[in-house]
Amino acid sequence: MAILRLEEVSKKFGALTVAEQICFAVGEGEALGIIGPNGAGKSTLFNLINGNIAPDSGTIHFCGADVTRVPPMARCLSGMGRTFQIPQPFERLTVFENLLVAGAFGTRRQESEVSDRCAEILVDTGLIDKANVLAGGLTLLQRKRLELARALATEPKLLLLDEIAGGLTEGECRSLVATIRAIHAKGVAVIWIEHVLHALNSVVERLLVLHFGKVIGIGKPDEIMASREVREIYLGIEI
Amino acid sequence: MNWLDTIVQGVLLGGLYALFAAGLSLVFGIMRLVNLAHGDLIVLAAFVILALVTTLGVSPFVGALMAAPLMFAAGWALQYFLLNRTLGKDILPPLLVTFGLSIVIQNGLLEGFSADSRRVSAGSLESASIALGPVNAGIMPLMTFLSAVAVIVCLNQLIYRTAVGRAFRATSDDPVTAGLMGIRPQRIFALATGLAMVVVTIAALYLGTRANFEPTSGPARLIYAFEAIIIGGLGSLWGTLAGGVILGIAQTVGAAINPEWQILTGHLAFLLVLLFKPRGLFPRAVD
């Protein structure tokens, strides 16, 4: 069964079409990668999926329910977690408090019920040493890890990762990918936008290529990467 | 002139100013909303207490206890249905709307209660005092100061020790991201203004029992509240108490030199702080 299904989702900003008749589905526990040139509408697609912006037409189903007009906080409660390309921690809260807020409000439970799980997530994401540090003082890698940890605290069934590996060193990237693989292995569905292809391809089962707001290919990573159209558009290779 | 006595009275008066300021500070801290009707809301609460005391014959303290939930509900609704719509990147709409609200409240009170100067009677407590070493302190001023300390302790506990407090801080940091974590910023803002109105009710209790008030008393209370916050430094409630105390001492010292100087010396102290420490005496690291 599909956890997320988009049907003919379109969105325009004035004359600029950022999403055109987008149709695809993600199965429960599946990992889908999204690639495309800058300005292809990848982050906009995430904003449509998690409800930050409303589509002009089309429908979005999540966990069997139509969520097209449902506000972001309700989508979070029904199991959709998201990280931002530019990490947005609550800077004046400690790392642990960042998770506690997400854990308590994202699942509508008491802080005392979620605090143990929040601590586990900090261990899993390698942030436990920084638990009582104000989030404003973290480095880029730590901020990206916090972004991931905070999304996990809301207990998502589907995790939207927006260029989480961008700007990291090779070593940092490898350890982050290992963390994401571990999360995926626990049955969390993942949609991951990324330019770092080798990182992406080591996790996802399918790739979706976006170009000027249109889906121009979806399928197994090696098939997609072998396709002539994708190579021309995305990699800029003349064949 | 007894200097010690003057300073003690100033400190206690500072408690009242800190109470005026605490609600304003809470609302500004969480949603960056400058509520220009804050002083008028204090006066409104004082009239609500007055009405309860005169119609039901209860003591002002019971009156305030009854007024608090009413004011909480009024604050919640005011924020949820009106002020939330004014929040955004532009800081002008909330200023204009709360300025308009200030005029509406003043004129509404004039219609309902006339322009007469009023006072809530606290009975024998008004003149009661106890000896604190060499000086005598009035029971009411002492209670005002202790209430201010209690309010600040409670607010700090709430903000730094509870789930709601963390939601306050998270929303203050970034309302959009807070929404993605399942927090409803609109409700958090409404809750904050409701709480601020409970603090306003406590401030109104002491305003109404210690001094005369009339429908147009609000703006001056707003100015004292602002001055206390700015002197103390934005973002710190204890700083606000210190700011109130400095303002109170400046006023009582001025009044001791010449009764006409009370208000003037308070404002002068504020101007001096602005001149030499524009970020206030106890500013938070960055804001």
- CATH number of the domain residue B196 falls in: 1.10.3470
Among B166, B170, B179, select the one facing A73 at the smallest CB separation.
Answer: B179
B26 lies in a domain? yes
Picking from A134, A155, A176, the residue at the C-terminal end of a domain is A155
**Of A71, A82, A111, which has the smallest distance from its Cβ to B163's Cβ?**
A111
CB contact set of A191 (below 8 Å; sequence gap of 6+): A4, A26, A31, A32, A33, A34, A46, A49, A158, A159, A160, A161
Mutate to test the interface with A, among B164, B180, B188, B286 (most CBs of A within 10 A): B180
pLDDT grade, residue A128 (50/70/90)? Answer: very high
Same domain, A150 and A177: no
- Say if B201 falls within a structural domain: yes
Is there a domain that residue B101 lies in? yes
Rounded CA separation B266/B245 (Å): 11
Mean pLDDT of chain A: 90
Q: Are residues A74 and A172 in the same domain?
A: yes
* CA closest to A107 among chain B residues: B182
Query: Is the model's pTM score more than 0.90?
Result: no
CA distance B22 to B41: 13
Q: Which of A52, A71, A102 sits opposite B181 (nearest CB)?
A: A102
A218: helix, coil or strand?
strand
How buried is B157 (Cβ within 10 angstroms: 0-12 exposed, 13-18 middle, 19+ buried)? exposed
B112 domain residue, yes or no: no
Q: How many domains does chain B have?
A: 1
Q: B173, A91: Cβ pair inside 8 Å?
A: yes
A–B CB contacts, 8 A cutoff, strictly below: 67
Tell me how far CA of residue A34 lies from CA of A58, A126, B103, in angstroms. Answer: 20, 26, 55
- Interface check for A146 against chain B (CB to CB < 8 A): the answer is no
- Strand A57-62 and strand A65-66: pairing? antiparallel
A185: exposed, middle or buried (C-beta count within 10 Å: 0-12, 13-18, 19+)? exposed
Q: Is the pLDDT of residue A110 over 50?
A: yes
Q: Give residue B13's identity as a one-letter amino acid code.
A: L
Residue B284 lies in a domain: no
Tell me the residue ranges of DSSP E strands in B72-205.
129-132, 135-138
Tens digits of pLDDT across chain B (287 residues):
588 999 999 999 999 999 999 999 999 989 889 999 999 999 999 999 999 999 999 999 999 999 999 999 999 999 999 999 999 889 899 999 999 999 999 999 999 999 999 999 888 888 889 988 888 899 999 999 999 999 999 999 999 999 999 999 999 999 888 988 889 999 999 999 999 999 999 999 999 999 899 999 999 999 999 999 999 988 789 999 999 999 999 999 999 999 999 999 999 999 999 999 988 888 875 44
Residue B282 lies in a domain: no
Which tokens belong to B34?
Answer: 């400058």
User: Looking at chain B from residue 157 to 186, which residues have their Cβ under 8 Å from any Cβ of chain A?
Assistant: 163, 166-167, 169-170, 172-174, 176-184
What is the secondary structure of B38-100 as a DSSP string?
HHHHHHHHHHHHHHHHHHH---HHHHHHHHHHHHHHHHHHIIIIIGGGG-SS-SHHHHHHHHH
* Nearby residues of B38 by Cβ (< 8 Å), 6 or more positions away: B20, B23, B24, B27, B98, B200, B218, B221, B222, B225
pLDDT attached to residue B162? 93
* Tens-digit pLDDT profile for residues A2-28: 899 999 999 999 888 899 999 999 999
| Residue B132 counted as domain residue | no
Cα radius of gyration rounded to whole Å, chain B: 19
Examine residue A219 and state whether it is found in any structural domain, yes or no.
yes
Q: How confident is the model at residue B287, as a pLDDT?
A: 45
Give every CB contact of residue B65 below 8 A, 6+ residues apart in sequence.
none
ipTM: 0.81
Measured distance CA(A90)–CA(B167) in Å, rounded: 10
Chain B interface includes A110 (CB < 8 A): yes
Q: Are residues A141 and A108 in the same domain?
A: yes
Q: What's the CATH number where A191 sits?
A: 3.40.50.300
A138 and A97 in a common domain: yes
Tell me which H or E stretch contains A105.
helix A95-107
Give the torsion through C-alpha atoms of B180, B186, B191, B193, to 10 deg: 130
Q: Is B193 exposed, middle or buried (0-12, 13-18, 19+ CB in 10 A)?
A: buried
Question: What is d(CA A232, CA A229) in angstroms, rounded to the nearest whole number?
Answer: 5
Name the band, by pLDDT with cuts 50, 70 and 90, for residue A36. confident
Asked whether residue A162 falls in the same domain as residue A151, the answer is no
User: What residues make up the domain containing B61?
Assistant: 3-107+139-276
Q: A82 vs chain B: nearest CA distance in angstroms?
A: 8
Asked if A174 and A137 sit in the same domain, the reply is: no
In a domain, A180, yes or no: yes
Residues A201 and A125 in one domain: no
pLDDT reported for residue A235: 67
| Contact call for A88 and B174, based on CB within 8 A | yes
Instruction: Give the pLDDT confidence of A176-224 residue by residue, as tens digits.
Output: 899 999 999 999 999 999 988 888 988 999 999 998 889 988 999 888 8
Cβ of A72 within 8 Å of Cβ of B179? The answer is yes
The answer to the question of residue B120 being in a domain is: no
Query: Is A101 in the B-facing interface, judged by CB distances under 8 Å?
Result: yes
Are residues A167 and A238 both part of a single domain?
Answer: yes
Give every CB contact of residue A38 below 8 A, 6+ residues apart in sequence: none
pLDDT number for residue B149: 97
**Which residue in A135, A161, A137 sits closest to A148, CA to CA?**
A161
Sorted by sequence, the CB contacts under 8 Å of residue B212 that are 6+ apart come out as: B117, B118, B119
Q: Are A70 and A121 contained in the same domain?
A: no
Same-domain check for residues A148 and A174 = no
Answer whether residue A134 is part of any domain: yes
Asked, for residue A85, whether it belongs to a domain, the answer is no
From A139, A155, A171, give the residue that closes a domain: A155
Report residue A238's pLDDT band, with 50, 70 and 90 as the boundaries.
low
How many independent structural domains does chain A possess? Answer: 2
The domain in which residue A123 lies consists of 90-155
The conformational region for residue A148 under phi > 0 = left, psi -120 to 50 = alpha, else beta, is alpha
**In this structure, are A163 and A233 located in the same domain?**
yes
pLDDT digits (tens, 9 = 90+) for A79-94: 999 998 889 999 999 9
Say whether A154 and B181 touch across the interface (CB within 8 A): yes
Are B180 and A72 inside 8 Å of each other by CB? yes
A111 shares its domain with A178: no
Q: Nearest residue of A to residue B164 by CA position?
A: A101
Better-predicted residue by pLDDT, A36 or A236: A36
In a domain, A84, yes or no: no
| pLDDT mean over A105-133 | 92
Instruction: Name the residue among A93, A150, A154 with its Cβ closest to that of B169.
Output: A93
Which residue from B141, B272, B285 is spatially nearest to B209, judged by alpha carbons?
B141
Q: Which of A155, A188, A212 is the last residue of a domain?
A: A155
**CB atoms closer than 10 angstroms to residue A223:** 13
